[in-house]
């Protein structure tokens, strides 16, 4: 079954630790995205990729970095976690459709808490 | 000013009620208008999308877009407890999606 997966689902970690949030999709989509979502707030795009070896920063400034070595894999890394990084991180993927439409499919999210 | 404004609620209605969710926007370049549903501890899933102005119906759900007023709505008829979720409007211009804050909806049995 085609899907998009995120691990871990929940992560509680101390300040200063390096973390990697994993995202994988089995739909063969070229475009992938990372969003940050805080309670009661809109989703903010922090990174996106058009394909292998392509990464771009989104609208919201983020200290995280991403890589895209394989089509299906788009991990997000924080070199030194801080309490301000506490948030929900959502991964999504999409494929261009007819007329410029492309539906974004979202993973279940990783809820990160930095103590 | 935010590009997309959505009343965060929360909104609580009895089962069977008609629910109206709304968003306003400021960017006239938006062409695609979407509603996502997000259950607790899940990612958003696309419920409906509309291109340009007009209405679109899918079962108990109706999406309306009024580009002249920069206003979109989602109507839920015969609401069910399973409709309890956060509903996010989203809009797309050239490349990116812009989301509203989401409205938390609870349908009480």
pLDDT at residue A110 greater than cutoff 80: yes
Strand B103-108, strand B11-14: pairing: parallel
**B43 in reach of chain A (CB within 8 A):** yes
Query: Taking residues A27-47, what's their average pLDDT?
Result: 92
Would you state the pLDDT for residue A100?
Answer: 64
Query: Taking residues A1-29, what's their average pLDDT?
Result: 93
Residues of A in contact with B100 (CB under 8 A): 42
Would you state the pLDDT for residue A99?
Answer: 61
- For residue A27, count CB atoms less than 10 angstroms from its CB and return exposed for 0-12, middle for 13-18, buried for 19 or more: middle
Residue ranges of chain B with per-residue pLDDT less than 70: 94
**B94 in reach of chain A (CB within 8 A):** no
Would you state the pLDDT for residue B51?
Answer: 87
Determine, for residues A108 and B42 on separate chains, whether the beta-carbon distance falls below 8 Å: yes
Would you state the pLDDT for residue B67?
Answer: 92
pLDDT digits (tens, 9 = 90+) for B70-84: 999 999 999 999 999
pLDDT digits (tens, 9 = 90+) for A41-98: 889 999 999 999 999 998 887 889 999 999 999 999 999 999 999 999 999 999 876 6
């Amino acid at each position: 079954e085609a899907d998009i997966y995120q691990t871990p689902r929940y992560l509680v970690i101390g300040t200063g630790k390096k973390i990697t949030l994993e995202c994988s999709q089995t739909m063969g989509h070229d475009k992938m995205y990372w969003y940050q979502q805080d309670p009661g707030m809109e989703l903010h795009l922090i990174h996106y990729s058009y394909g292998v070896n392509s990464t771009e920063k989104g609208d919201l400034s983020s200290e995280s970095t991403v890589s895209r070595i394989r089509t299906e894999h788009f991990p997000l890394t924080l070199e030194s976690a801080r309490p301000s990084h506490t948030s929900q991180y959502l991964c999504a993927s999409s494929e261009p459709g007819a007329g410029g439409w492309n539906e974004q499919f979202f993973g279940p999210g990783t809820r990160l808490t930095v103590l | 000013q935010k590009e997309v404004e959505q009343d965060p609620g929360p909104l609580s209605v009895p089962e069977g009620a008609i629910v109206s969710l709304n968003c306003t926007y400021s960017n006239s370049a938006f062409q695609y208008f979407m509603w996502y549903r997000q259950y607790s501890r899940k990612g958003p899933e696309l419920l409906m999308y509309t291109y340009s102005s007009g209405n679109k119906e899918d079962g108990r759900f109706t999406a309306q877009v009024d580009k002249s007023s920069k206003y979109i709505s989602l109507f839920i008829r015969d609401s069910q407890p399973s409709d309890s979720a956060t509903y996010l409007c989203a809009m797309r211009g050239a490349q990116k999606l812009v989301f509203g804050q989401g409205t938390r909806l609870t349908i009480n049995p």
